[in-house]
Amino acid sequence: MKYFIKTFGCQQNHSDSERIESALYARGMTKARSYKTAEYIVINSCMVRESAENRVYGLVNNLKKLKMKNEKLKIIVTGCMVGLAFRDKTGKYLKKIRETMPEVDEFLPVEEIGFDNAPVRQDRVNALVPISNGCNNFCTFCIVPFTRGREISRPYQNIINECKNLKKRGYRTVTLLGQNVNSYGADLIYPASVIPNEVRDLKKDSSTPFRSARNDKRFNLNGKNVKPIYVKHLGRFRIPTLFSHLLEQVAKMGFEKVDFISSNPWDFSDELISVIARNKNITRTLHLPVQSGNDNVLKRMNRWYSASDYVALISKIKNEISNIKFTTDIIVGFCGETEKEFNNTVKLAKKVKFEKAYLAMYSPRFGTSATKVFKDDVPHSVKEKRWKILDELINKPHLVRYQSTNES
């Protein structure tokens, strides 16, 4: 039997497809060159925006004709749409996708694929290596915590072994993948029973005796000498996660380049900055999603940093790492975004001078808090206008070249 896999969406989905491919190989299938010669079509879906979801519906609709010609043809949908369908306790979303795509033979949760088989890599130079799956952050616009569930870290040694093997096979670069790589390992090594109460229960509050005296205190955990870090959205100190250790160990294996995505601004620790600074083969282009440059919009998005926190972090990183560049994600036209609020994003972009921005016009996503609580009240024409302003400012600097930097 011949298979064909179509992947929509982010690198995490592409990495999942590499594991799906290995599972199909293990079942004795071979790869078809196109949909037309396949008998088993897997669609790895994305639903980060409405347009991504619509592309999946459109593809299945187009495959209808093939299915009419070949009754043996199986269509399987997996990825984010199925993740949401199986997590939505109301059953409404599963009903919706079943009704919209009656041609689909199976809706397969991607978790069923597992990590047992070595992925069939599409790239001979750069390897995508997933380190965690899911997210605990619940930004109000984002569907990921519903499609991929709560964050689960992949075992540390498992990742190290995979990277060593990639190095032996001649891979030159690796990209470590997770929804928030900074929190990698928080669920692995520091269960509540191990974290000293002293650290777990301390708040960064000037009224407590804690403050700076203990800020520098180190704790011995699992043989590691660790310093607590302050996590603003938790309102307290937390033991650092394993990401900086993992990143350094992978960097020391001798790859030409080690990249990682995505990393969030609120828990980008000093330790992580030091690890990047002292390992020259770790990427010098950091992707740090800002989403908005206005504090009220950030609050509505449930992003636990302010625009000035973000700019301060960028300056700190620039001071410690030379030649560092930044890329970002920005959503325009989020619920209630005023002209003034949008202009704060423009100002922030002028200050930071991003290399590139992945821009999106806000669209409501099923089940997210923004959809439940706010109105999608920014007209589409305004979203388009704002998108174009940022696109020209950040992505087409030959047209605008930050000529207004001094204004901000």
Which stretches of the chain bind ligand SF4, using CB under 6 A? 135, 137-139, 142, 144-145, 179-180, 264
Q: Which is nearer to ligand SF4, 76 or 142 (CB)?
A: 142
Q: Which is nearer to ligand SF4, 210 or 305 (CB)?
A: 305
Q: How far, in whole angstroms, is CA 2 from its chain's centroid?
A: 31
Question: Which DSSP string do the residues of 294-335 spell out, in sequence order?
Answer: -HHHHHHTT--S-HHHHHHHHHHHHHHSTT-EEEEEEEES-T
Q: Which is nearer to ligand SF4, 15 or 75 (CB)?
A: 15
Q: Which is nearer to ligand SF4, 44 or 291 (CB)?
A: 291
Residue 342 CB, shortest distance to ligand SF4, in Å, is: 19
Residue 179 CB, shortest distance to ligand SF4, in Å, is: 4
d(CA 113, CA 78): 10
Question: Which DSSP string do the residues of 207-256 spell out, in sequence order?
Answer: TSS-HHHHHT--EEETTEEE--EEETTTTEEE---SHHHHHHHHHTTT-S
Q: Which is nearer to ligand SF4, 78 or 263 (CB)?
A: 263
Cα atoms in the 13 Å half-sphere on the side-chain side of 177: 16
Per the CB < 8 A criterion, the answer to whether 311 and 347 are in contact is no
d(CA 114, CA 20): 9
Q: Which is nearer to ligand SF4, 75 or 307 (CB)?
A: 307
Q: How many CB atoms lie within 10 A of CB 368?
A: 19
Residue 49 CB, shortest distance to ligand SF4, in Å, is: 12
Q: Tell me the β-bridge partners of 287.
A: 327
Residue 19 CB, shortest distance to ligand SF4, in Å, is: 20
Cα atoms in the 13 Å half-sphere on the side-chain side of 17: 24
Residue 375 CB, shortest distance to ligand SF4, in Å, is: 20
Q: How many CB atoms lie within 10 A of CB 352?
A: 20
Residue 205 CB, shortest distance to ligand SF4, in Å, is: 25
Residue 132 CB, shortest distance to ligand SF4, in Å, is: 11
Q: Which is nearer to ligand SF4, 60 or 139 (CB)?
A: 139
d(CA 297, CA 343): 12
DSSP 8-state class, residue 282? B
Q: Which is nearer to ligand SF4, 56 or 261 (CB)?
A: 261
> What are 390's two structure tokens?
């940022």
Residue 17 CB, shortest distance to ligand SF4, in Å, is: 19
Q: Which is nearer to ligand SF4, 24 or 291 (CB)?
A: 291
Q: Quick one: which H or E segment has residue 107?
A: strand 106-107
d(CA 304, CA 229): 15
Compute the Cα dihedral for 246, 270, 239, 327 and give only its sign. negative
Q: How many CB atoms lie within 10 A of CB 257?
A: 16
Residue 142 CB, shortest distance to ligand SF4, in Å, is: 3
- Check whether the bond before 262 is cis (ω within 30° of 0): yes
